[in-house]
Amino acid sequence: MSGCVIVCVLFAILASSSVTAENGNTTLVFDVFENITEKVPSLKLIHFGRKSYYIGDIFKGNFYHAEQFCRYHGMNLVNIESKTEMHFLEDAILEKGDSALHYWMSGTRLPDQERWISFTSARGMSYFNWSPGEPNNAFKNEYCIEMRFVDKELKWNDVGCTNEFNFICEATWTHDCQKLYDYLIKHDMDLKNITDIIDTKLNNNQYQTENTSVKAQ
């Protein structure tokens, strides 16, 4: 379980008691939230900067189904904002051995079919990593962006939104999650026992999240 999941789940899922983490003379007690309504998903996430990612390998779906899956799990389709972030995901996919797959990201020209925006942020995109000759709107309906490996580099291609591909979801850390994680690192606290507790509760379906927002992640 990634650091983001450890930290954020601590804020959201411990329903009946608080958790105490001890390291030497340091003791930290995590209070619990009461407003719990939906099941916590358990996805294998990777972490970079203030984001955590799920590289989807469960099933393929069109652009809309991919976003729906991400939202159900408190995330959104990935919005890649820099070359550094691009290279991180590229390396992560290569490490998984999934370089033959195609992946949806959040880039789209919908609804106006003109400028590229992130479906996640609803803002114009400033970073691009197109394959040579792309985007070309070859079939006159290529309003979404998929990623694929070209010469060992993860490149972007415009494509019809109803094609079915794998996908990458992202969640951005909330301020509270970041603060708590920084506190744990500062005090050199061992998270293993807390992680074991959380994993046990999740696997037993004992806890649920407030909603499908990133804060509940």
Determine contact, residues 145/159, Cβ cutoff 8 Å: yes
Backbone phi, psi, residue 184, to 5°: -65, -45
Q: Give pLDDT, residue 38.
A: 39
Q: Give pLDDT, residue 49.
A: 85
- How many CB atoms are located within 10 Å of the residue 162 CB? 13
Q: Per-residue confidence of the chain (217 residues) as pLDDT tens digits?
A: 444 444 444 444 333 333 333 334 333 333 332 333 334 346 888 989 889 899 998 889 999 999 999 999 889 999 999 999 999 999 999 999 999 999 999 999 999 888 999 999 999 999 999 999 999 999 999 999 999 999 989 999 999 999 999 999 999 877 666 666 566 556 665 555 444 544 454 445 443 333 333 333 3
**Torsion on CA atoms 104, 61, 139, 152, rounded to nearest 10:** 40
Domains and CATH numbers, the chain: 1-50+173-217 (no CATH), 56-170 (3.10.100.10)
DSSP assignment string, 111-157 = TTTSS-EETTT-SB-----BPTT----TTS---EEEEEEETTEEEEE
Q: Give pLDDT, residue 136.
A: 97
Q: Give pLDDT, residue 58.
A: 83
Q: Give pLDDT, residue 137.
A: 97
Determine contact, residues 66/120, Cβ cutoff 8 Å: no
Nearest to 66, CA basis, from 144, 149, 169: 169
Q: Give pLDDT, residue 124.
A: 96
* CB-count exposure of residue 146 (10 Å: 0-12, 13-18, 19+): buried
